[in-house]
Structure 1
């Protein structure tokens, strides 16, 4: 198979052709600054307002609760840092989980160095937050709970509605990193008692460098970037109009085809999981078997080093990953896999494949055959595997 087989959609997605087409006029024709009062500028301002309305509609939110950012990491940083600053008089305690994206975890580390106290709650073997532990962790000085909607590595979907109810019951703000979930799952911020939500365009066939933060009206959040009055004075800087328009087109596309796309991805997901489990011994499916994103497949292969597996798959034209793209330079095993209880040596042998509706069973068949061949080759070179076979 000569073409690339792309199985890393959790890292980024291909920008859809209709998204590119929607963006092009805002580079060359409707290029006015949205803050300008002449018609060329007001055209850009109208386009931004329309996208804000589109996004708000998908969440059951109000238009003025949507704030555009440069992506999911900025939205996560803004939510945590701004709450820590604005609610410091109430307390400095924040609760999150051990399997969050590093945009949240590293922000929490920063806040700890600046006087905040962070509680990192545990998850079960499938990566689901332990609700009893979460509720017990709440204190009088707790100001925020930040739990991701769905995990970027193992695909596990969290009980967001129940977490929101706990937060509301104790009068604590609730933020969710929905970067992997938005556009894949239906989300209603009122039904789930969500106060803030982060999302990113390039995870749903939109452009890179654009995202948004939903902030419920009445939440005390200060400016993240100081300067002009853009984004109602909370995030200064000339708006990325082409990016915002592209995000809007991607959102319309994702929500119009969500049901059909989910059915296709579930079928591919079940097929891929079934073949791997049936044909490759000593492997483990990571994440909840049912409560997982429809496009996520994550396996650990015993006696295999994940980086070698990825390199050899790449040589066959297959793009996959061992976990978050944001930690691809690290030699440490995935913090997510360690948090669900895997020992280091098994966590090191992980492979994440994230699908899209354009993938085919033919591609998955080629991929499974490649994994079988590579795993066999790597195990044949492993003294640990040799010892294991002798003992068996």
Structure 2
């Protein structure tokens, strides 16, 4: 099986795996314990915090470790709302946000908050004019995902952040798909908080982090919690954090190299699909606003679930959207945000490359898709002819 679902999760980097085992074996103490074994774990934990903060260009005291991106989104939103700068219960968010954002905001809506959901433009970008029109005097929080996990479009964080600053609105962004894929340091000054996850960057599952801007006077959602300065309960996963820090150092150093490689793989993929180009719809932005390793698309007249199963039969693992929403029957949120009708939305599927994906693998996948579409077309024509002869 050749894997093309790296936007869902990545394999654990071998070096990160070695670090995990060593940390779990030699630094197994609870980092909250006061004895020497606990102190050794604490020393490693704070070293990792400093290393990751250096990669991100942030103050180490503003970095908190979590169990992943979903928890990071939850904790960040709750922390910001506990420290909002003005009175109000209006929140603005994108329709295509991750399911973890939806979960928090849907609960807040039941508690009296009003949510304005912003769609995408036809190229998968938030319309800044529409965002500005949505801002009200009682708008206290804005949540916009940096990179969409289903189609790979990159949102204009700097422009959004400036608008938030002008209107005293706290700004949280889900950076799970952008951390390690593009340089994010330049955007952090325009954010109040952001989240990231280890398993998207060849680190382990069950570990991630959240940044909260220094000076934000947040209060813990969980009273009496002592871990991570009261942000979350539960023993800190020091081995997972150490492995994530190792993976992060490696992938951040490789951002330019990987980005160029993914651009070339994307070009080769579509070049190989030329024989069926009239059957393809690709959901993407311009090159400057698009992560090249994520391809969201559909084949006209073919359901995405069927395409995924056919590719799986041929030995290629692709996806029909965000792995965190796979149990739901609704169309992908990105396609909904684009205003695509339900019938067309059912055709959506996603292909995503990883740092070890080869040109040969991409050509083989694209060639396989061409064969699937050609066989489907022949079968459809044959059925129509049989119906006509009856």
Higher alpha-carbon deviation: 276-285 or 333-342 = 276-285
CA distance in 1, matches of 2:117, 2:227: 35
Match for residue 93 of structure 1 among 90, 94, 114: 90
CA RMSD between the two structures: 2.1
Hey, what does 1:295 align to over in structure 2?
293
Hey, what does 2:116 align to over in structure 1?
119
CA distance in 1, matches of 2:369, 2:207: 35
Match for residue 75 of structure 1 among 72, 87, 106: 72
Give the Å deviation of 1:273: 2.5
CA distance in 2, matches of 1:57, 1:352: 33
CA distance in 2, matches of 1:224, 1:377: 55
Hey, what does 2:302 align to over in structure 1?
304
Tell me if the contact between 1:303 and 1:382 (Cα under 8 Å) persists in the aligned partners.
no
Hey, what does 2:259 align to over in structure 1?
262
CA distance in 2, matches of 1:329, 1:247: 28
CA distance in 2, matches of 1:68, 1:225: 15
Hey, what does 1:162 align to over in structure 2?
159
Tell me if the contact between 2:85 and 2:169 (Cα under 8 Å) persists in the aligned partners.
no
Hey, what does 1:246 align to over in structure 2?
243
CA distance in 1, matches of 2:84, 2:255: 37
Task: Note the alpha carbon deviations across 1:191-211, whole angstroms, 9 max, x for none.
Answer: 641110010000000000001
Give the Å deviation of 1:59: 2.2
Structure 1 length as normaliser, TM-score? 0.93
Hey, what does 1:179 align to over in structure 2?
176
Match for residue 319 of structure 1 among 300, 310, 317: 317
Hey, what does 1:109 align to over in structure 2?
106
CA distance in 2, matches of 1:333, 1:360: 30
Tell me if the contact between 2:89 and 2:138 (Cα under 8 Å) persists in the aligned partners.
yes
Hey, what does 2:62 align to over in structure 1?
65
Tell me if the contact between 2:5 and 2:351 (Cα under 8 Å) persists in the aligned partners.
yes
Question: Cα–Cα, structure 1 residues 301 and 68, in superposed 2: closer, same or farther, change >3 Å?
Answer: same
CA distance in 2, matches of 1:153, 1:223: 32
Tell me if the contact between 1:154 and 1:352 (Cα under 8 Å) persists in the aligned partners.
yes
Task: Say which SS state the counterpart of residue 345 (structure 1) adopts.
Answer: helix
Question: Cα–Cα, structure 1 residues 191 and 103, in superposed 2: closer, same or farther, change >3 Å?
Answer: closer
Tell me if the contact between 2:123 and 2:284 (Cα under 8 Å) persists in the aligned partners.
yes
Tell me if the contact between 1:184 and 1:258 (Cα under 8 Å) persists in the aligned partners.
yes
Is structure 2 residue 20 aligned with structure 1 residue 23?
yes
1:33-44 equivalences under 5 Å are 33-44=30-41
Hey, what does 1:334 align to over in structure 2?
332
Give the Å deviation of 1:322: 1.1
For structure 2, the 5+ residue unaligned runs are none
Hey, what does 2:147 align to over in structure 1?
150
Give the Å deviation of 1:58: 2.3
Give the Å deviation of 1:382: 4.7
Question: Cα–Cα, structure 1 residues 243 and 342, in superposed 2: closer, same or farther, change >3 Å?
Answer: same
CA distance in 2, matches of 1:199, 1:354: 18
Hey, what does 2:356 align to over in structure 1?
358
Tell me if the contact between 2:68 and 2:198 (Cα under 8 Å) persists in the aligned partners.
yes
CA distance in 2, matches of 1:215, 1:140: 23
Is structure 2 residue 208 aligned with structure 1 residue 208?
no
